[in-house]
Structures are given as structure tokens and as C-alpha cells.
């Protein structure tokens, strides 16, 4: 049985198109509701909420919403985190799955941003997980065409014009990227997603074994493999590690003497014995 779709609708053109297509049944038979997060970053954020509310009232759609006052100086990451915390809370309430309006251009931008940030090979295998993205086959131009054809109303986020945000700066630089390169990146993304899923499956089985806490196990691994194992281990049982943190821990596993401690964020640490660590 298909879960209830929790449509994340901001009031922008992307999410309004997703919502309209869902209402028209273009994604098949679908039980859904609308979730709107008013972050309070912009003075006109309430107008976004009013637009979404008006559409839901007109078409008799269920709406869940939350309003916060994150302020103009909030980081992009903080705003995103709060939004997804809200969406996951709604998904839990209705035993549903989150749907977002990411499209083909968002995919390319996210890959570029990840490489700028130095996220490694996983930076290409983005948009993997329990969130559905039904617009990935649509370009931004396609979305605008749909919105105009169906006479939709939407809100333009004024922060999209600000050079303060990395995504906006990246978007501006990618405008001239030829279609053939976009297509090549999309093909590589599909291939990398398949590889990532296979790797994650292997890691999931591996971290269930006590062997991953033995120092001898890592002595036989190259750095790249060890980092992947450590990140999977700590994400599952402890706290997520960045690539540099995992690399430093790998070095500690090979070099630290018994009883020495390796410091982790949030005042946690790893303690070593002669043959293991915990």
C-alpha cells in the first residue's frame, strides 16, 4: 500500500507545480496532504503561506504548517535542517513519505555544490534516500511552462537573487552549462546512485559485525575504504563523521597506543585498547 505523500510546498513555482500535478492525478492514484514551513527569514514569508493556504482551501486539500522566526541571518543549512525536521514530524504523524519539488536543474546544482564543498564521490550520488522527488525529469523551463499553461500563481523567493547563498552563486555560474554536459552529468548521477546503493548495502551488513571495532581489521584496508566503513559505523551507532574526522580516526586506529583517547565532537571520544577501540 502506497504511503500518504507529504508534499513540501513553499509557494514557489516548483512546489506549486508539483502540488497542481498531484491534484490532477498526474502521479497516479495518490493520497496526499500539503506541508508548508514558514521560516520567517523574509518579511514577506507570510504571503507565501497565504498563497499555499488559499490554494488548499480552494481545492479542499489538507494543510499542515509551522511558522518560525529564524531571522534574516540564519544559515542556509540551519533553515534547511528546521524545514526537514518539520516535514519528518508530519510524515511520522501520518505514516507518510516526504515529496519535494527538486527538478533536473536542482540536481546539477546540488552535484556542483557538493564538489565545491569537497564531499567526495558521494557528492555525485545525491538525492538518495527516503524522500521522493517526482519532478526530477523536468527542467526549470518546463516547470515555468506548466505553471503558465495552467495559470498557476506562485511566489518568487527574493533571497534567490542574493549572492550571499552558495546555491545562488552556483546557479548563476551554471547558466551557461551546455545541455550535453548536463545530460552527461545526469547519466553519471544515475550510475553513481546504483553504485552507492550497492556500497551502502554492503556497509550496512558489515557494521553489524564486531569485527569493525578491531584495529587489525583496519590495518588491512586502504584509507578510502576505511573512511567509508568508519562513516557508516558511526552514522549507525554513534554520530555522523565528516570525511576529515573519519580520516583522522583511521590514522588514530593505526597509531594510538592503548588507553589513549581520540576526541570526537560534542565531548565524546574513542578509547583504544591494544587490539580494539570503543
Report the DSSP beta bridge partners of residue 5.
32, 97
Pair 138, 30 in one domain: yes
Pair 116, 231 in one domain: no
Whole-model pTM: value is 0.83
Asked whether the predicted pLDDT for residue 266 surpasses 80, the reply is no
Specify the pLDDT at position 92: 96
Whole domain around residue 171: which residue ranges?
4-177
> Parallel, antiparallel, or unpaired: how do β-strands 261-264 and 268-271 relate?
antiparallel
Q: What number is the average pLDDT over the span 23-27?
A: 96
Alpha-carbon distance 136 to 66, whole Å?
26
Alpha-carbon distance 35 to 52, whole Å?
9
Instruction: Tell me the pLDDT band of 161, cut-offs 50, 70 and 90.
Output: low
Q: What number is the average pLDDT over the span 30-45?
A: 89
Q: What's the angle, vertex CA 141, arms to CA 140 and CA 146, rounded to 5?
A: 100
Asked which of 150-159, 167-176, 197-206 is least confident by mean pLDDT, the reply is: 167-176
Asked whether the predicted pLDDT for residue 165 surpasses 90, the reply is no
Q: What are phi and psi of 164, to 5 degrees?
A: -65, -35
How does pLDDT run across 97-141, given as a tens digit for each residue? 999 999 999 999 999 888 888 777 888 899 988 999 999 999 999
Instruction: Tell me the pLDDT band of 159, cut-offs 50, 70 and 90.
Output: low
Pair 114, 12 in one domain: yes
Pair 56, 113 in one domain: yes
Asked which of 15-19, 162-166, 179-183, 188-192 is least confident by mean pLDDT, the reply is: 162-166
**Helix, strand or coil for residue 200?**
helix
Q: Does 111 or 160 have the greater pLDDT score?
A: 111
Q: What number is the average pLDDT over the span 205-229?
A: 92
Is residue 101 in a domain?
yes
Angle between helices 13-23 and 140-149 (to 10 degrees): 60
Domains held by the chain: number: 2
CATH of the domain at 59: 3.40.50.620
> Parallel, antiparallel, or unpaired: how do β-strands 32-38 and 63-67 relate?
parallel
Amino acid at each position: 500500500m502506497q504511503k500518504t505523500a507529504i508534499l513540501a510546498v513553499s509557494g514557489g513555482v516548483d512546489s506549486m507545480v508539483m502540488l497542481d500535478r498531484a491534484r490532477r492525478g498526474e502521479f497516479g492514484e495518490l493520497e496526499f496532504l500539503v506541508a508548508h514551513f514558514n521560516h520567517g527569514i523574509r518579511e514577506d514569508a507570510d504571503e507565501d503561506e497565504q498563497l499555499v493556504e488559499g490554494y488548499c482551501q480552494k481545492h479542499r486539500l489538507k494543510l499542515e504548517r509551522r511558522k518560525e522566526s529564524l531571522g534574516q541571518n540564519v544559515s542556509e543549512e540551519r533553515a534547511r535542517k528546521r524545514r526537514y525536521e518539520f516535514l519528518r514530524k508530519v510524515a511520522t504523524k501520518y505514516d507518510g513519505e516526504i515529496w519535494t519539488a527538486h527538478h533536473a536543474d536542482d540536481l546539477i546544482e546540488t552535484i556542483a555544490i557538493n564538489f565545491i564543498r569537497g564531499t567526495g564521490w558521494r557528492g555525485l550520488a545525491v538525492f538518495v534516500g527516503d524522500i521522493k522527488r517526482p519532478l526530477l525529469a523536468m527542467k526549470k523551463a518546463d516547470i515555468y511552462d506548466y505553471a503558465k499553461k495552467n495559470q498557476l500563481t506562485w511566489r518568487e523567493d527574493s533571497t534567490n537573487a542574493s549572492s550571499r547563498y552558495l546555491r545562488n552563486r552556483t546557479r548563476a555560474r551554471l547558466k551557461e552549462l551546455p545541455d550535453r554536459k548536463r545530460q552527461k552529468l545526469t547519466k553519471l548521477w544515475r550510475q553513481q546512485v546504483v553504485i552507492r546503493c550497492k556500497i551502502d548495502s554492503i556497509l550496512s551488513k558489515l557494521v553489524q559485525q564486531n569485527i569493525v571495532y578491531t584495529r587489525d581489521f583496519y590495518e588491512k584496508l586502504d584509507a578510502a575504504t576505511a573512511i567509508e566503513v568508519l562513516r557508516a559505523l558511526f552514522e549507525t551507532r554513534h554520530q555522523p563523521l565528516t570525511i576529515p574526522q573519519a580520516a583522522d580516526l583511521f590514522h588514530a586506529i593505526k597509531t594510538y597506543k592503548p588507553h589513549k583517547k581520540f576526541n570526537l565532537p560534542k565531548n565524546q571520544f574513542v578509547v583504544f585498547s591494544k587490539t580494539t577501540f570503543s
